Structure 1
Amino acid sequence: MKKWSICLLGTLLLITGCAPDTEEEVVQNDEETEQETSIVPSYQLSEENYKMILPYEPSQARGVIVNQVANRMDIDEMEEGLRRHSKEVYDPSNYFFQEGQYLDEDTVYDWLGRKLTKSQLEEAAQKEINRLEDAKMTVNEEQIRKNLQLGLNPAIPNDENKEDHQENPRYLSHILEQNFLTKNEDNTVNLEGISIGLAMKSVYRYQTETGGPYYYQDISENEMMEQATAIAEKVVQRIRNMEGLENVPIMLAVYREQEQTSPIPGNYVAKTNIAGGKTSLGDWQNIDEQYVLFPSDAGKENYFEDHELVTSFGNEIAKYFPNYVGVVGEGFYINDELRKLTIEIPIEFYGKGEVIGFTQYAYGLVQDMFDNYYDLELKITSSEKVESTVYREAGADTPTVHIFH
C-alpha cells in the first residue's frame, strides 16, 4: 500500500518551451518503488477546483465502479459529488487532490461481496485449506476464515430462492476513496485527509437462475440508511487498521443510486466526519439535494415554475425550427433551490449555417427567458455529436458560446 512523502523541491519546466516556469517539482517517495518525480501545477481552473499532482495517479481500485454501478450517470455524479462535498472539509486552496491509493481493487471487491453463512464459510474454508495443503503451503485456518468473511452485504442462504433475495438484498454497490494532501512547513506534502463514498441501492435487481428473468425490489431510504450506518462503522474500523490511515481524518458520505434505467443520477443523502484516530461515526448530517428531469410528472409536481419554463423554451424553439424534436432538461437542486439547469436540444441539422442560426436563436432565448441565479448549460446536439454549447455561470450577464467544427 502506498504511503506518500512528497517533497516540493522548486520549479520545473515540464516540457521545454511549453509548460509554465512556476510549476512545482514533486518527489513522491514510495517504499515499494523507486522515487517518482511529478509536478503540482501552479494554476487552478478556478478557486473551486483542486490542484492535482501530475502525472495523474489513477485509483488503486480503478474500474471497479463501472462493474458495480449500473447507471452511467450515477458513476459520474458519485465521483463529482464526493469531491464537491469534500470541499467543505478540505479547502481546495490548501489541499491537493489525488484519487484513492489505499483501497485497491481486490480489497473493494472483497468488501462489496456478501457475508457467508456458517455452512458456506466452512465449505469455502475447507476448499482453500485443501488447495494450500496440496501445494504444500502454510495453512492458517483462522486467517483463511477471516479473509473469506470480508463481505459487507448480507449473507444469502440460497441464491436460487426468491424469498432469500427479498429478505437479504444487496445494498452496497461501491466504495469510492478520494485522497487529499497538504503542504507542510518543512516543505513536504503528506496525506492529510480522505473521503469515502458508499454507493447504496434504491432498487435491488436480481435473478434466481442464470438466464432467468430479473426481479426488482425497492429499498426505502430509511432501510438503506440503517444498512449504510452499519456498513460505514465497519469500513471506518477497517480503514483505521490500514498502515498510514490510523490517524487520518475521514469524511464519509452515503450516495443513493437511481434505478438502472433512470435518465438522471441519484444523489448524496448524508455525510459525517470522523476525526483522526477515531473509529466511531459521528451524527449523520442530512444532505438535501436532488436531480429532477424536465419535462416529467415529478418535475411538474415539485418544481412547477421550472417545469413550465423548460416547456415554454421548447415551444419557442418549435415555432421557428421544423427539425426540432424536443428538449430534455435536468435541474440540480440543493435545499430546494435550483443551482444548475442543463438542457439538451436534439435537432437534425443539414448544414453548418443552420447550426449557427439555431445557436444564435437559443442564445437570445437564454438572455430573454432564464434568470441568472443558477448555472445554465445548453447542449445542442445532432444524431452524430454535440454541435454547440451555450453556458452561463450563476451571476454572469452574458453566456459563453462554442460552436464545434
Structure 2
Amino acid sequence: MKKVSIWLIGTLLFITSCAPSINEDEVVQENEETREETSIVPSYQLSEENYKMILPFKPSAARGVITDQLGNRVDIDEVEEGLRRHSKAEFDPEKYFYQEGQYLTEDMVIDWIDGLNPVVEDDEEEEVYRENPRYLSHVLEQNYLRKKEDNTVELVGISIGIAMKSVYRFQTEPGGPYYYEDISQREMMEQANEMAQTMLERVRQMDELNGVPIMFAIYREADQGSPIPGNFVAKTNIAGSDMSLNDWETIDEEYVLFPSDEAEEKYYDDSQLINSFGNEIAQYFPNYVGSIGEGFYVNDDLKKLTIEVPLEFYGKGEVVGFTQYAYGVLKEIFPNYYDLEVKIMSDEKMESLIYREAGAEDPTVHIFH
C-alpha cells in the first residue's frame, strides 16, 4: 500500500507541475497522537461544490460495515453522497477539507446498531418481531478539517448520518419465509431522535470529539427491492459544547421513478416530457422498448433527471447514430434548469452518455469505445 500511495501522490504532483494554470499542491502535517504525518492537499478540485481530500487517502475506521447493513445498493451510495451534500451547508468546501470518518470504529458502529435496536430473542412469534422492529441500519461518520497557520490540519466538525428503515424485513426462524412490517416516518423519527441523543452522549465521551461541532442527519431507506434510493428527512447541528440535541430541521427531498403512478400524480409535467422523449425515439428505432428515469427533487423542484435507455445494437455505427438522434431530441424537449443525464445502454454496458449541467445550452456527449 505504501508503494501505491507514493506512486499516486507522485503522479498527482507530476500532473500538477505540468499544468501552468494550476498552483502547486499544498503539503500539510497531520498530528496523529503526537506523531506528525506529511499529507498532500491537491490545489485543484473537481468543482467549487466538491471538497478537496487529503492524500494519502485514509479509509474510514468502519470501512465496509455499510455494505453489510444496508440491503439496497442505491441506498449505500445516497447515504454517503447525500450526507456529504448536506454537510456543505455547515462546512464550506472552499474552506474545509473532507476525510472519511476516523473515530467511529467498525466494532463501535456494530455495537451501536445492536445495542440501540430493540432486542428480540430467536424463534419468537411473528407479532413480537412486528412490535419490536430493528429501526437502525447504519451509522456513518464523515470528518471535516481546516488548515492551520503552521501547516497542520485540525478537525473542525463531523457529520453523522443515521440510516433508518422504512420497512422491517424479518424471519421468525432460520430458512423460514420473510415477513415485512412498514415503519411510519413519525415512528422512525421518534426512534431516531432518542438514538441520536444517545450517540451524542457517547461521542462526547471521546477525548478527540469532545468539543467538536456535530451535524446529525436522518436518512430514511427505501425498501430493499426499490430501484431508487430513499432520502434524508431531517438534520440538526450541535455546537462543540452542547450535550443535547437541538430541534430537527426538515429536509424536503425525494427520488422519483419514471414511469410510475407517483410520478404521474405528483410530477405530471415531467412525466409527460419523459413520455414524449420515448415516443420520439420509438418512431425511428423499432427495437426501442422503453426507458427508466430517476428524478431528484428538492422542495418539489427537479434538480437532476437521469434517464437510462436500453437498446440492442449491432455495431458502433448504430450507437453513434442513435446518440446523435437522442442528443437532438434531448435539446428540443427538456428545459435546462436542472442537471440532465441520458445513459444509453446495451446488455448492461454503457455505450454512450449525454450530459447537460443546469444552465448549460448544449449537452456534452461521450461515446465509449
Normalised by the length of structure 2, the TM-score is: 0.94
Which of structures 1 and 2 has the bigger CA Rg? 1
Alpha-carbon deviations, 1:225-259, whole Å to 9, x = none? 00000000001110111121000000100000000
Q: Compared with structure 1, are the counterparts of its residues 380 and 37 closer, same or farther at alpha carbon in structure 2 (3 Å cutoff)?
A: same
By how many angstroms is 1:163 displaced?
Answer: 1.6
CA RMSD, Structure 1 to Structure 2 (Å): 1.5
1:160 to 124, 131, 137: 124
- Report what 1:6 is aligned to: none
* Gap regions ≥5 residues in structure 2: 1-8, 18-22
By how many angstroms is 1:36 displaced?
Answer: 3.2
Tell me the distance in 1 between the aligned counterparts of 2:41 and 2:366. Answer: 30
By how many angstroms is 1:96 displaced?
Answer: 0.0
Matched, 1:311 2:311: no
Matched, 1:170 2:134: yes
1:270 to 234, 238, 243: 234
Aligned residue identity for 1:312: S
- 3-state secondary structure, aligned to 2:197: helix
Count of matched residue positions in the alignment of Structure 1 and Structure 2: 356
By how many angstroms is 1:384 displaced?
Answer: 4.4
- Report what 2:147 is aligned to: 183
Runs ≥4 residues deviating over 6 A: none
By how many angstroms is 1:183 displaced?
Answer: 1.4
1:194 to 144, 158, 167: 158
Normalised by the length of structure 1, the TM-score is: 0.85
Tell me the distance in 2 between the aligned counterparts of 1:18 and 1:294. Answer: 42
Aligned residue identity for 1:328: I
| Aligned 1:228-239 pairs, distance under 5 A | 228-239=192-203
Aligned residue identity for 1:198: I
- 3-state secondary structure, aligned to 1:244: helix
Tell me if structure 2 keeps the 8 A contact 1:158–1:164: no
- Report what 2:289 is aligned to: 325
Matched, 1:370 2:350: no
2:217 to 244, 253, 263: 253
Tell me if structure 1 keeps the 8 A contact 2:122–2:173: no
Aligned residue identity for 1:382: S
1:211 to 171, 175, 199: 175
Tell me the distance in 1 between the aligned counterparts of 2:299 and 2:357. Answer: 19
Tell me if structure 2 keeps the 8 A contact 1:340–1:375: yes
Q: Compared with structure 1, are the counterparts of its residues 213 and 15 closer, same or farther at alpha carbon in structure 2 (3 Å cutoff)?
A: closer
Alpha-carbon deviations, 1:321-353, whole Å to 9, x = none? 122121100000000000000000000000000
Q: Compared with structure 1, are the counterparts of its residues 16 and 72 closer, same or farther at alpha carbon in structure 2 (3 Å cutoff)?
A: closer
* Gap regions ≥5 residues in structure 1: 1-11, 114-150
- Report what 2:262 is aligned to: 298
By how many angstroms is 1:185 displaced?
Answer: 3.3
Tell me the distance in 2 between the aligned counterparts of 1:28 and 1:285. Answer: 34
By how many angstroms is 1:29 displaced?
Answer: 2.9
Stretch of structure 1 that moved more, 320-329 or 290-299: 320-329
Tell me if structure 1 keeps the 8 A contact 2:30–2:152: no
Q: Identity percentage over the alignment? A: 66
| Aligned 1:383-394 pairs, distance under 5 A | 383-394=347-358
Tell me if structure 2 keeps the 8 A contact 1:73–1:265: yes
- Report what 2:64 is aligned to: 63
Tell me the distance in 2 between the aligned counterparts of 1:371 and 1:76. Answer: 27
Matched, 1:227 2:191: yes
- Report what 1:93 is aligned to: 94
Matched, 1:72 2:73: yes
Alpha-carbon deviations, 1:342-372, whole Å to 9, x = none? 0000000000000000000010011100000
Tell me the distance in 2 between the aligned counterparts of 1:44 and 1:16. Answer: 14
| Aligned 1:133-144 pairs, distance under 5 A | none
Alpha-carbon deviations, 1:6-59, whole Å to 9, x = none? xxxxxx966674443601123323228x64322000001100000000111111
By how many angstroms is 1:311 displaced?
Answer: 1.1
- 3-state secondary structure, aligned to 2:84: helix
Tell me if structure 1 keeps the 8 A contact 2:343–2:354: yes
